[in-house]
Amino acid sequence: MPLIRRIDLRGADRASVDYRAVVPRAEFDVESVMHRVREITESVRTEGDAALIALTEELDGVRLTDIRVPAQTLMDALVDLDPAIRAALEESVRRLRATCEADLEQDATIEVAPGARVTHRAVPVDRVGLYVPGGVAPLVSTVVMNVVPAQVAGVGSIALSAPPTRETGLPDSSILAACALLGVTEVYAV
């Protein structure tokens, strides 16, 4: 079976296409891992950072003393970032921010009867936690694609986690640089 398969839906009646059949998903039995997920969740709930440090060593092969990435490390990563990559990131952020701002919901008030109004309001959550994969390859685009919409929506507090590399015990430097570029200072290596 080829590594990449082309699916051509040109001319297809999109309303009648069964996308699950056309784009098959890997078979995965979620129930088979739920015991381990519950175990991990409970250990983090009861033991906090100590559990995260132990799990990072067990699952990622990285021994940490602290999961929080120092602010200076974020800034150093941004300073050390290749200027061409930084320019590309800045342009990506600019374009996505413009798109998100144009797509931002506005409050709407509708008078359904004399004196009876219904107001629809979009209210941002106070805080979000974001995860950026980085095991096989650092997905710096995930930082941009998650942080920018949250910022545009007005989320006040953003925490981000990404797996540490074995070489440094920190997330990939491009992920750290993107966090610094976007003003995300609460970053965890887990």
Q: How confident is the model at residue 1 (pLDDT cuts 50, 70, 90)?
A: very low
Q: What pLDDT was estimated at residue 3?
A: 62
Residue 19 CA, chain-centre distance (Å), reads 25
Mean pLDDT over all residues of the chain? 92
**Per-residue CA distances from 25 to 19, 22, 28, 86, 167 (Å):** 10, 10, 9, 35, 33
Amino acid at 68: R
In this prediction, residues 14-42 reach a mean pLDDT of 85
